[in-house]
Amino acid sequence: MNQSIISVKNVTKSFKKKEVLKGVDLEVERGSIYALLGSNGAGKTTLIKIMTTLLKADRGEVKIGGYDVQKESMKAREQFSLTGQFAATDEGLTGRQNLQIIGELYHLNNVGERVNDLLEQFDLEEAGDKLVSTYSGGMRRRLDLAMSLMNVPKILFLDEPTTGLDPQNRGAMWELVKSLAEAGTTIFLTTQYLEEAEVLADRIAILNEGVIVKEGTARELKNMLSSGTVEFSFYKNKDLQSAKVILQEYKLAEDKENLSLTVMAEDGVEQLTKILNRIQENGIPVANFTQKLPTLEDVFFAIVQDDYMNEKKGA
């Protein structure tokens, strides 16, 4: 069994009177890809900053590669590199110069050879001697990732690595991340893209309201929901709104643009029949309906909705 290379125990963090992290626990195995999912404001970036010594936790313990990030911060920093949400490149320099500066800061031997290897690995050979200001968003992101790997870290933290990228560049970044993991680098990534977590991660944690509410493989998380969802599409917005009213006891997700309503059908065929009968009894015209197997998005929606409803009841 692989040993944990990242260990987080009961980590809390508040800003003024707002408690952002409320006791986070997680373990990441060496050589794996671990994804942290969460909505905006869930605390993902705050947790990464604590794990990478940029912020100090109020309470709790974080160990990176066996080193406590507060008591042995220098040793902990030697274990990882961090790529943030926005590319940290110098646009007034070439791609090659950006990489060379990082190599010199790390006092690496054979910096030029390492730079050439990374330019080739990240498909930047032709652009290596061009100013970064001329790069596309995808190229800058690849260069940023290459800079993070200059010192061959054991762990790579990626904070929303594909934010702002188009689908083609996002797919290319996924392939790069998978190749890094296959080469032995442990990857810890935060993302809002559920598909990204499902494609890349060995294990996925869902952070909501400052705590890890669920953790497991994509299959384990999807198995939480017994029967998935049913999606209704309507001819008119007024029919969609009427359906929302009569089905308000269920977990719902509305898509106004496509005039569709997704309903969580947790109790299988019996519940689906009940939902269909209710719509028919109220004379609401339905353009189409489709039953779907659970997706990671369904799981995320169900968990966040449950937490929201529980909080509302307790208010």
Residues of the chain with CATH 3.40.50.300: 4-219
Of 28, 21, 36, the C-alpha closest to 64 is 28
| pLDDT tens, position by position, 58-80 | 999 999 999 999 999 999 999 99
- Exposure b/e, 203-232, CB count within 10 A at least 16 = b: bbbbbbbbbbbbbeebeebbeebebbbbbb
Q: Which residues contact 80 (CB under 8 A, 6 or more apart)?
A: 52, 64, 65, 153, 154, 155, 156, 157
Which burial class, exposed, middle or buried, applies to 202 when counting CB atoms under 10 A from its CB (0-12, 13-18, 19+)?
Answer: middle
State yes or no: pLDDT of 137 exceeds 70.
Answer: yes
Sorting pLDDT into bands at 50, 70 and 90, what band is 245?
very high
pLDDT computed for residue 309 by the predictor: 40
As a residue count, the chain comes to 315
CATH of 4-219, one of 3.40.50.620, 3.40.50.1820, 3.40.50.300, 3.30.230.10: 3.40.50.300
Q: Kindly state the average pLDDT of the residues 249-264.
A: 88
| pLDDT tens, position by position, 14-24 | 998 899 999 99
State yes or no: pLDDT of 228 exceeds 70.
Answer: no
State yes or no: pLDDT of 311 exceeds 50.
Answer: no
pLDDT computed for residue 19 by the predictor: 94
Q: Kindly state the average pLDDT of the residues 86-104.
A: 91
State yes or no: pLDDT of 265 exceeds 90.
Answer: no
State yes or no: pLDDT of 193 exceeds 60.
Answer: yes
pLDDT computed for residue 29 by the predictor: 95
Q: How far apart are CA 107 and CA 19, in angstroms?
A: 40
Give the 3-state secondary structure of residue 126.
coil
Q: Kindly state the average pLDDT of the residues 233-248.
A: 94
Handedness of CA 232, 237, 239, 245 (dihedral sign): positive
pLDDT computed for residue 315 by the predictor: 39
Domain 229-293: which CATH class? alpha beta
State yes or no: pLDDT of 267 exceeds 80.
Answer: no
Cα 201 to Cα 74, 85, 190, 218, 304: the distances in Å are: 28, 18, 11, 8, 20
Q: Which residues contact 181 (CB under 8 A, 6 or more apart)?
A: 31, 32, 33, 187
**What's the pTM value of the predicted model, to 2 decimals?**
0.75
Which is higher by pLDDT, 32 or 176? 32
Q: How far apart are CA 97 and CA 113, in angstroms?
A: 13
CA 133 to chain centre: 28
Q: What are phi and psi of 308, to 5 degrees?
A: -65, -45
| pLDDT tens, position by position, 269-309 | 677 788 889 999 999 999 998 877 777 887 887 777 655 44
State yes or no: pLDDT of 45 exceeds 70.
Answer: yes
Residues of the chain with CATH 3.30.70.100: 229-293
